[in-house]
Structure 1
Amino acid sequence: MNLATQLTVLRLALVPVFMVLLALDTPLLRWVAFAVFVIASITDFLDGYIARKMNQVTKLGKLLDPLADKVLVTAALVGLVELGEIAGWIVVVILSREFIISIFRAMAASTGLVIAASYWAKIKTTVQMIAILLLLANNYPASMIGIPLDQIMLYIATILTVVSGVEYLLKNKQVLKE
C-alpha cells in the first residue's frame, strides 16, 4: 500500500476516535475532537497531493479517498445533529447526495469506469470540512464579533453539495444509459 493510500486509511481510522471524543461532549474533549478532525482533514489534502506528485494514483485510491471523505463528514454531521447543533434536514440533503453519487460510482465501477472527484466536489468537501471545524469550535473566533460564520459555511456547503451532485450526474450521464 503506497503512502497516499495509507493516509486515506489513516483518515478512516481516525473517524471512530473522532466520534467517541465528540459524543463524550466535554469542553476539553471537544477541542481534542477538533484536533482529530483537523488531522483527518489534512490527510485528505495530503493523500491527493502525494499521489499526484509521487505518481501513486491508483484505482483503489480513487475509490477510497472520496469514501473516506464521506465517512468523516457524515460522522461529524450526524454527531453534530445528535448534539442539537445543526438541523437534521441539512444532513439529509448532504447524505442523500452522497448516497446517490456512491451508487452512481458503483454503477460506473461495474462497467470498469472509475469516476474521480470533480473540481466542485473537492470544493464542496473543503467547505464542508471548514463548516464542521467552525461548528466544532463553537464558531470561534467569528462568534466574538457576532457573525454566524459556521451556519453561513454550512449553508454554502449544502448548496455546493447539491451543485456538485448535479454536475456528477450531468457530466457522467452515459453511466446511466449503460
Structure 2
Amino acid sequence: MNAVSPAPGRSHSLSLPNLLTYGRIAAVPAVVACLYWQSLLHGGLWLRWVALALFIVAAVTDVLDGYFARAWQQQSSLGRMLDPIADKLLVASCLLMLAADGTIRGWSLWAAIIILCREILVSGLREFLAELRVGVPVTRLAKWKTFAQLLAIGFLLAGKAGDLIFPYTTLTGLTLLWLSAVVTLYTGWDYFRAGLKYLIED
C-alpha cells in the first residue's frame, strides 16, 4: 500500500524556512507595540530592550530562512514572495515608529524617507517585471544595504535606553541610517537601470 504524500502546497507552506518568515512577520506588531507602549504611553525604558530583542530575533530569521531553504532544498514561490515582504514590513514599521517617538527627527527624517521610497519603488518595479517574466537578482550590495538598515534600526531601537550605557548609541544609529540611505539610493538606481530597457520597450 502506497503512503499518501502531503500536498505540495501544504508541505511548502509549513516548511521551516517559511515558518521562520511567518515568525518575522509576527514580530512586526510585537516590536511596534513595545515602542508604542514605551514612547506614546510613557512606559519604562526596559521596553526598548524588549523591542530590540524581538527585532534581533526577527533579523536573524532573515538569514536563517534563506540558509535552510537552500541547504534543505525547500525554496518555494511562497517563500520568495513573503521574504522581501517580511523584510520591508519590519524595516518600514520600525522607521515609522522611531520617527513618531522622535528618535529619528530633523534632517534624519530624510534618510528614513529615502529608504521607504526606494523600497516602494523597487517593489513596484519588481511587480512590473514579474508580469514580463523578468527576474531581477538580488545583488551583494543590496544584501549589505539590508544589513546596514537592520544595524542602524537596532541602535535606534535601543535609543535612550542605550544612551544610558553608551552615550553615542542614538548618534551611531542615525549615522548608520544615513549610510544605509546612501547605499539604498545606489542600489535603487541599480535596479531601475536593470529594468529601464523593459520599461522603454513597454
Q: TM-score over 0.5 for the alignment? A: yes
Tell me the distance in 1 between the aligned counterparts of 2:168 and 2:118: 31
Cα 1:61–1:107 change in 2 (3 A) is same
Deviation at 1:60, TM superposition (A): 2.2
Spell out the pairing of 1:144-163 with structure 2 (5 A cutoff). Answer: 144=166, 146=168, 148-163=171-186
Given that 2:48 and 2:159 are in contact with CA atoms closer than 8 Å, whether structure 1 keeps it comes out as no
Cα 1:32–1:108 change in 2 (3 A) is same
Query: How many residue pairs align between the two structures?
Result: 178
What are the superposed Cα offsets for residues 108-164 of structure 1, whole Å, 9 maximum, x if unpaired?
122233434322221111110000111112284797365732122111111111111
- TM-score, normalised to structure 2, is 0.80
Spell out the pairing of 1:94-173 with structure 2 (5 A cutoff). Answer: 94-138=115-159, 140=162, 144=166, 146=168, 148-173=171-196
Tell me the distance in 1 between the aligned counterparts of 2:126 and 2:23: 22
Tell me the distance in 2 between the aligned counterparts of 1:41 and 1:75: 14
Which amino acid in 1 is paired with 2:181?
Answer: T
31-40 or 149-158: bigger deviation: 149-158
Identical aligned residues as a percent: 35
Tell me the distance in 2 between the aligned counterparts of 1:142 and 1:170: 44
1:30 aligns with 2:52: no
| Secondary structure, aligned partner of 1:144 | coil
RMSD: 2.0
The aligned residue for residue 5 of structure 2 is none
- TM-score, normalised to structure 1, is 0.90
1:15 aligns with 2:33: no
Tell me the distance in 2 between the aligned counterparts of 1:106 and 1:144: 42
Q: Rg: which structure is higher?
A: 2
Tell me the distance in 2 between the aligned counterparts of 1:39 and 1:59: 24
Spell out the pairing of 1:38-53 with structure 2 (5 A cutoff). Answer: 38-53=56-71
